[in-house]
């Protein structure tokens, strides 16, 4: 039997106006925004290729990190339209690709290392309580291998 290969894309959302904490990221709105951009750039072929397998798998509003799931072939459509997504909920945004992986577990490991790297950069200005609070908010300290498959 042939196995479907999936690709997981880790993307970070940047808000241009301000970093307000009230900016809620909805899976449905992200789905519609990305599919509309694919329809604009690639037409019905692009939408048909990606619609059956496209999903917003993980969305963290505090760190604004998103994981998109697609099949192996149409992931090229998704990776090429990421720079063109400029608006979400009527606010200007920028999506930047951080990592593309073949398994969800590898993406979570990348996010752990990425968040720890950000804490290391801010190490001189943060206290120990603030570091632990940041890691707890993002769920990095509580992450285990079995969360991926549940």
If phi over 0 gives left and psi between -120 and 50 gives alpha, with beta otherwise, what is residue 139? left
Q: Are residues 89 and 123 in the same domain?
A: no
Q: Are residues 72 and 138 in the same domain?
A: no
Q: Are residues 87 and 112 in the same domain?
A: no
- For residues 45 and 136, what is the distance between their CA atoms, to the nearest angstrom? 42
- For residues 86 and 67, what is the distance between their CA atoms, to the nearest angstrom? 18
Whose tokens are 């019905």? That residue is 44
Domain count for the chain: 2
Residue 150 confidence class, pLDDT cut points 50, 70, 90: very low
User: How does pLDDT run across 17-70, given as a tens digit for each residue?
Assistant: 766 556 678 889 999 999 999 999 999 999 999 988 899 998 888 888 999 999
- For residues 146 and 132, what is the distance between their CA atoms, to the nearest angstrom? 22
Q: Are residues 30 and 86 in the same domain?
A: yes
Q: Are residues 29 and 91 in the same domain?
A: yes
Q: Are residues 92 and 138 in the same domain?
A: no
- For residues 150 and 147, what is the distance between their CA atoms, to the nearest angstrom? 5
The lowest-confidence range among 1-15, 108-122, 131-145 is 131-145
Mean pLDDT in the chain? 83
Strand partners, 93: 15
The per-residue pLDDT for 11 is 95
Q: Are residues 80 and 146 in the same domain?
A: no
Answer whether residue 141 shows pLDDT above 60. no
Closest CA to 108 of 75, 60, 50: 60
Q: Are 113 and 85 in contact (CB under 8 A)?
A: no
CATH label of the domain that carries residue 82: 3.30.70.3250
Answer whether residue 148 shows pLDDT above 60. no
Q: Are residues 68 and 89 in the same domain?
A: yes
Task: Look up the domain containing 11 and give its range.
Answer: 1-102
């Amino acid at each position: 039997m042939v196995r479907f290969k999936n690709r997981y894309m880790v993307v970070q959302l940047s808000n241009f106006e301000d970093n307000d904490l009230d900016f809620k990221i909805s899976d449905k709105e992200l789905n519609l925004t990305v599919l509309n951009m694919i329809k604009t750039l690639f037409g019905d072929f692009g939408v048909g290729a990606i619609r059956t397998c496209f999903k917003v798998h993980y969305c963290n509003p505090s760190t604004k990190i998103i994981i998109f799931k697609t099949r192996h072939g149409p992931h090229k459509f998704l990776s090429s339209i990421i720079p063109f997504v400029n608006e979400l909920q009527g606010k200007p945004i920028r999506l930047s690709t951080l990592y593309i992986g073949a398994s969800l577990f590898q993406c979570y490991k990348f996010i752990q290392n990425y968040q720890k790297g950000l804490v290391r950069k801010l190490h001189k200005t943060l206290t120990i309580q603030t570091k632990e609070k940041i890691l707890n908010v993002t769920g990095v300290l509580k992450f285990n291998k079995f969360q991926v498959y549940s």
